[in-house]
Amino acid sequence: MHSVWVKGILSAKNGMNLYRGCSHGCIYCDSRSRCYRMEHDFEDIEIKENAIELLEAALRRRRQKCMIGTGSMTDPYIPLEMETGNVRRALSLICRYGFGFTVITKSARLLRDLDLLKKINERSKCVVQMTLTTGDEELCRKIEPNVSTTNERFEALKQLREAGIPTVVWLSPILPFINDTEENISAILDYCAEARVRGVICFGMGLTLREGSREYFYSQLERHFPGMKERYADKYGDRYVVTSPNNGRLMRLFHDRCAAQGIMHDNSRIFEYLSTFEEKTFGRQLTLFD
């Protein structure tokens, strides 16, 4: 790991990344792409040394409350977070200043901060977004080797439900010829139904590959799935969007299952929900989505 000082922490859409780089080792990670101009090894985590001070200054200046998000580029609950506590410090500030919060993660380490997530949700809105890619634990350990397994994430989703914190699942990515089966999609949606998630985000059955991320992905295919790299290269070449041959059938299954379970499955509606700040008055949340 190494530390840097930065000029700002919140993006134009109120997102933040307290770290740069990741140690989870997911074989498909888009954040490895060269277009993001990371000038250090991906596993050499960059800590933004002055991030918490910048965040407090930004929150103090804001006249209008909003949702603060994290996790779009780097999972905030990497093992290093358990040493630095930067996410927890950020949550304390978000809670103190009365903002809403949403996070994208694959890690059950998030439960360490359940007390703060509950406090934020009691005052405004807190939404946890959890990525699920496979119902197969053995496959999970191959494609996402250093992160909480699917079962561990599912247990976290249930604990969040019991705590009254709304959740959204990212059904992504779906790797052609690896986890693009009806059995897998049904298994993930069973988890979502039992955990009573509010919505499931899915942009299609496939993944995206760019320069940098493609090379790493192919190297891991060679390691874990002999012959699969050649199959990808023959079918997809250097395409950015890699769509499963089963996309149409699996997307119909996805939409039908979500509709039957009363789970939001319209991406635009879910993103509107995630970005809308809500205040709670006299114990009742004022929202357009109930």
Annotated domain spans of the chain: 2-285
Spell out the residues 6+ positions from residue 204 whose beta carbon is closer than 8 angstroms to its own. Answer: 243, 247, 251
The gap from C-alpha 208 to its chain's centroid, in whole angstroms, comes to 16
Which CATH number describes the domain made up of 2-285?
Answer: 3.20.20.70
Spell out the residues 6+ positions from residue 113 whose beta carbon is closer than 8 angstroms to its own. Answer: 87, 88, 91
Q: With H, G, I as helix, E, B as strand and everything else as coil, classify residue 125.
A: coil
pTM value is 0.94
What would the two tokens of residue 157 be?
């989703």
The residue among 232, 230, 271, 248 whose CA lies nearest residue 67 is: 271
> Tell me, what's the pLDDT at 39?
87
pLDDT above 70 for 175? yes
Kindly state the average pLDDT of the residues 249-265.
98
> Are 213 and 33 in contact, with CB atoms under 8 Å apart?
yes
> Are 15 and 57 in contact, with CB atoms under 8 Å apart?
no
pLDDT digit string (tens) for 94-143? Answer: 999 999 999 999 999 999 999 999 999 999 999 999 999 999 999 999 99
pLDDT digit string (tens) for 221-233? Answer: 999 999 999 999 9
CA angle 201, 204, 207 (to 5 degrees): 100
Kindly state the average pLDDT of the residues 247-259.
98
In this structure, of 3-7, 86-90, 184-188, the range with the lowest mean pLDDT score is 3-7
Q: Does residue 173 have a cis bond before it (omega within 30 degrees)?
A: yes
> Tell me, what's the pLDDT at 280?
80
> Tell me, what's the pLDDT at 288?
46
